[in-house]
Structure 1
Amino acid sequence: MNLTNLLLRHSHLTTARLLLRPVTLADAPAMLRYASDPRVTEFVFPTQNDLATTEENILQYFLAVPAGKYGIELQDEHEFIGTIDLRLDSINLSAEIGYVLNHDYWGQGYAPEACRALIELGFDTLIEACHHTANSRSGRVMQKIGMRQEGILRNARQFKGQTVTEAIYALTDADFAAAKR
């Protein structure tokens, strides 16, 4: 089974504290709470200021092509706190993981927990992730899930009108096996 089909078949994943599930338009108010926070959006996407923009982004990104895209919900509280996705590159047999959380939930281990769930589901490929070098908190999440820094990409891309440098991390088969021990 290819990874896209695997992700579509597993649209709901559970961890000890989280439910990873499809994002819906009903999540827009909760998403806007963190998407309007510049601390959250600084390294991810433009800050959103209204519900209509958030709803449009949900329609265009999460609902148009849902494979590998999940809302992060606290199981016990049924509270939507962020999103995580696995961006597939079938040509290079790799995938990139991305995540964003409401600031109120930073530092509680939710991002690594959600990342591990996706990696456990379908690790048959190289998993990569990168972060703006000024966003060391994201790099720490990558380290917590067993990823290793592969290098620095100077002047890697344009983001919010600035040229940014990124650190790239990867998780190989050997790293994955070692992390499971």
Structure 2
Amino acid sequence: MLQTLILAAEEGAEHEDSVLMPPLAELIVGLLAFGLLVGFFFWKIYPQIRRTYAERADRIEGGLNRAEVAEREAKALLEQYRSQLAEARTEAARIREDAQAQGRQIVEELRSQAQQEVSEIKERADAALVAERAQVVASIRREIGEIALELATRIVGHELQSDARQRQLVDDFIAGLDEAPRPAVAPAGPGV
């Protein structure tokens, strides 16, 4: 059959010299070669192309999936970071408030302690004043007693011999001074 086509093509080639129409033998050989090439393409190359295409599609889809997973993880980490940051800010505010409260408490304790020390110093000073006043009063009483005894000795003209009697006279004199009305002292005015 192929031979008859080739012979027919040769006969037609002799009769027709057309530039646009190739000889039939060349056309058949070209068609056979093209068919073999198409068959080889679908038998060997097309499955390889499909496999490569599928691998690339898988890689792209896998990359997209990995990117989506990475994005979800990044968002989760961002939320976790934000929550930790909020917790840290809350903790810092609480620590700041605690420090301020402790500061106020320390200030109050120091004020209380200072007031207590002031009152203790005042009490000691008052006690010292009372003791000093008692010493001054006792000293003045002795001096007054001695002056009164000396005065009484001069007035009476003779010396009182007995110490017990002298003490009794001095105590009576001082008791009389304590019971005697005291003269009113005018308050000091601005001109004094």
TM-score (norm 1): 0.16
**More strand as a share of residues:** 1
Instruction: Return the structure number with greater relative CO, CA threshold 8 A, min gap 6.
Output: 1
TM-score (norm 2): 0.15
Task: Pick the structure with greater CA Rg.
Answer: 2
**More helix as a share of residues:** 2
